[in-house]
């Protein structure tokens, strides 16, 4: 079983080398490690989000077999707020499989209105 630091390292490498994020770093957040960084600017002209390359995203690495509860997610939001000084509107779960595959899921703090297609 991989440690929190090893999972964060796998997510870090995936974000930097495959997804081309910038300013990526691994930070200790409470008892766990998270990854933070800036995604590349959107190239889709239909993307209506007001995201810029300066927006920092927080990625929480977890194993595919990990059960993630609402209580755990809430504690992650609170730990990021305590560590970084601000509570993010969303976090991203970086779900790592045993073969090294990483899948990302957005988790919002509260109810989020769906995007228009």
**How far apart are the C-alpha atoms of 73 and 107, rounded to whole Å?**
8
**How far apart are the C-alpha atoms of 54 and 39, rounded to whole Å?**
8
**How far apart are the C-alpha atoms of 47 and 18, rounded to whole Å?**
21
**How far apart are the C-alpha atoms of 60 and 94, rounded to whole Å?**
6
Residues 67-104: pLDDT tens digits?
999 999 999 999 999 999 999 999 999 999 999 899 99
| pTM for the whole structure | 0.85
Please give the class, per CATH, of domain 4-40+53-108. alpha beta
Tokens of 32: 């766990």
**So what's the pLDDT on residue 53?**
45
Residues 39-56: pLDDT tens digits?
998 765 555 555 554 589
Averaged pLDDT for residues 63-69: 95
Domain boundaries of the chain, sorted by first residue: 4-40+53-108
21: nearest Cα among 49, 50, 59: 59
């Amino acid at each position: 079983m991989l440690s929190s630091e090893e999972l964060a390292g796998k997510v870090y490498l995936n974000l930097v080398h495959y997804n081309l994020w910038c300013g990526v770093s691994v930070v200790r957040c409470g008892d766990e490690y998270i990854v933070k960084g800036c995604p590349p600017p959107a190239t889709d002209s239909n993307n209506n989000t007001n995201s810029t390359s300066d927006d920092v995203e927080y990625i929480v690495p977890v194993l595919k077999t990990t059960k993630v509860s609402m209580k755990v997610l809430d504690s992650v939001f609170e730990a990021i707020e305590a560590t970084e000084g601000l509570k993010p509107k969303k976090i991203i779960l970086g779900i790592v499989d045993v073969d090294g595959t990483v899948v990302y899921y957005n988790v919002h703090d509260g109810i989020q209105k769906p995007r228009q297609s």
